[in-house]
Amino acid sequence: MRNRSQFSEWIDARTGLVSRVSGLSEEPVRGGAGLRHVFGSALAGAFLIQLITGLLLMTSYVPSSSHAWGSVWFIEREMMLGWVIRGLHHFGSSAVVILLALHLVQTIVRASYRAPREFNWWLGLIMMFAVLGLALTGYLLPWDQKGYWATRVATNIAGTTPVIGPLAQQVLVGGIEYGNQTLTRLYGLHVGVLPLVIVLALLGHWALARRHGLNGKDRPERTDTYWPSQAFYNLAAIGLVLAILLGVVIYEGGAGLEAPADPTGTDYPARPEWYFLALYQLLNEFESDTEIIGTMVIPGAIVTILFLLPILDRLFPKRLIHFGACALIFGVLGGAGYLMTKALVADWNDAAFILARQEADEQRDRADQLASAHGLPPEGAGYLMARDPLSRGMNLLEANCLSCHAYGGKVRVQMQVAQPSAEDLAAADPSRFADLGEPLSDSVLRALAFALPEDFDAEEITRDASDVTQTTVVLKGRNAGGERVEAELVEGRSHVIVQTEAIQSASDLEGFGTRDWIRGLLEDPSSPKYFGLVPQCSGMTEWKAESQLTPEQLDAVADFFVEYVIPYREGISAAAWELQFEDPENQHPGYEHYMNECANCHFWGLGGADGTGVDAPNLYGWGSDTWTRRMIEEPGARDLYGYLADHEQMPGFEGQLTQEDLDVVIRLLKGDFLPLRASENASAAEPEAAAIAVDAPEQTD
């Protein structure tokens, strides 16, 4: 016993703590200190890192379906080094799983499950399940797209358990719908139940490990004690784990956060964390009627054998069981590795997955941008994207409007992925696109021939080899319906991405309801942006042919719309509105031109002249939210385009869109939204120009 201070003696006399600790630290390490004993301690160390970072995260996280995402976003983006803490916790879970696997393999290889260490083995297995439970519940908590969809999949797998499955699922989810109760339950498991199980089991595991000593051959020439030699190796191992973790966190820039959970979205490519990827692939290996083999039978059998190992060891020849156990664990790890690789390769080759992943990345960046700019709405993260015209509004526009209209020159583009099998390629005719000028390999020609229909009319083919990592071939042409089609493939990969553009047959909606739009219309109504593609709406073009208004006068009319027409307020009658212009002193300069030129055809509230027999929509409140909403819901109304024949009218959307959806669509048309980040616009020149424009007025001051 070393010299102790009086203070240590005082403590020791009352608690016995010092003697106990030094007793433990002086304990001899069988076979000498070394790296072969570090796995258990490194695992405990990694768990401790999780415990510390987890407690830190608890001080800021909110387990609610509306605010979990926001709180995680806040940790990640606003709190000092929050991304490091969360990154350590996130990647730390991988470290725990890897170290767990190593510890398990070592235990089996050394046959340390044998008597008298059975309880140690069983406690270890219990902790393994608790760790996997932590890993699963953990990545659901941010309630982002990944967490949400993973929760659905995981709880539905639980639901397929025979007999108790559906009940267990309902208890776990906290009902049938996924929401606050799901999150609070999973949170309770993650921060309370499972860590408690591990800590208690770990205390027992550790005490038993001390009782039985480390398992290793005695080497009498080595007389190391636990402190300081083995402690050094253990700390070195934990330090190494932490250093790697920190490196990964810095390299990856933190754990990342997907867009907020969107239960209505359909194309989120949900994949579990890598350590569950093998289970995920195992699930995919079975048809639905035998799926339970993948989800329950195989994992269940492996678990049962592991639990029974110490007992089998007594019933059967020890060496046979040891050989079997080693074969099992390496078989399981090898099989898991194989399944994981298979899942990764499948995704890498799956163009639909890649496209969905790209879209998920865009949504993730947009959510981050919106949250950074304005914070989250009080109702929660679910409304972040739903109120964003560029996200929700653009989806609605694409789904409902862009098969006829354009937005900023873009029409609806349908994207399909052709994924030919080897037989498909063999059957395809490589000569179809062989004489378009580019030297293309046989496999590329066959893939294109497979992807494009017989009546496809090829126009142009380009081969871009400027990117050293991949050569891209693009074939442009038209299909039988005259729609523009673009087929793209990367040499060496077999899938072809085919984009089909709808044919624009109505106006361009970008800026509808703004001065720019009305001014452009007054300038050139026959442009495809306005009524050029809508022969039934030729009235404006006919007016333009005869109108004598100068550009300045047209400006005045547009200004008149901005000041008096578009700011329409519900409830004010047309007559009351027109009273504003009774006083000639206050008359807007555009009013006169409006009355002389437009009111000949257009109704104007109660006034205006319709004696000419020319049909046109009523312009009272044109461009206001109310007018545009009616135009979307009921374009065939008598005061709108009811004068057109039924087949010439735009279809109405009454009852198909909620008020909130109409609002985001109208805001999208008016351009009332946060523009995408400059870096995503890929034009570096624009911000500079804007900066100059901002500077200019200061110089004139």
Q: Which is nearer to another protein, 231 or 270 (CB)?
A: 231
Q: Which is nearer to another protein, 376 or 396 (CB)?
A: 376
* Minimum distance from residue 79 beta carbon to another protein (Å): 4
* Minimum distance from residue 381 beta carbon to another protein (Å): 9
| Strand 472-478 versus strand 484-490 pairing type | antiparallel
Rounded to 5°, the CA angle 251-267-467 comes to: 50
Dist CA 626 CA 295 (whole Å): 54
Dist CA 71 CA 61 (whole Å): 5
Q: Which is nearer to another protein, 3 or 700 (CB)?
A: 3
Q: Which is nearer to another protein, 67 or 146 (CB)?
A: 67
DSSP letter (8 states) at residue 507: -
* Minimum distance from residue 259 beta carbon to another protein (Å): 15
Sheet holding 472-478, edge to edge: 413-418, 496-501, 484-490, 472-478, 457-464
* Minimum distance from residue 260 beta carbon to another protein (Å): 11
3-state secondary structure of 676: coil
Q: Which is nearer to another protein, 71 or 182 (CB)?
A: 71
Dist CA 475 CA 487 (whole Å): 5
Nearest Cα to 407, choosing from 511, 539, 294, 271? 511
* Minimum distance from residue 94 beta carbon to another protein (Å): 17
Dist CA 246 CA 92 (whole Å): 9
In this structure, are residues 411 and 528 in contact, taking their beta carbons and an 8 Å threshold? no
DSSP letter (8 states) at residue 529: T
* Minimum distance from residue 84 beta carbon to another protein (Å): 4
* Minimum distance from residue 391 beta carbon to another protein (Å): 18
For 220, the token pair is: 């009498």
Write down the residue that tokens 């941010």 correspond to. 142
* Minimum distance from residue 429 beta carbon to another protein (Å): 57
The distance from CA 334 to its chain's CA centroid, rounded to whole angstroms, is: 31
Q: Which residues pair with 488 in a beta bridge?
A: 474, 497
Q: Which is nearer to another protein, 132 or 248 (CB)?
A: 248
In this structure, are residues 493 and 350 in contact, taking their beta carbons and an 8 Å threshold? no
For 42, half-sphere exposure in the C-beta direction (CA atoms, 13 angstrom radius) is 28
Write down the residue that tokens 């932590």 correspond to. 134
Q: Which is nearer to another protein, 120 or 230 (CB)?
A: 230
Q: Which is nearer to another protein, 243 or 480 (CB)?
A: 243
Contacts 24+ apart (CB under 8 A), 633-641: 633/657, 633/662, 639/603, 641/617
Q: Give contact residues for another protein (rule: CB under 8 A).
A: 33, 45, 49, 52-53, 56, 59, 67, 70-71, 73-74, 78-82, 84-85, 88, 227-229, 231-232, 235-236, 238-239, 242-243, 246, 371, 374-378
DSSP letter (8 states) at residue 155: H
Q: Which is nearer to another protein, 318 or 374 (CB)?
A: 374
* Minimum distance from residue 230 beta carbon to another protein (Å): 9
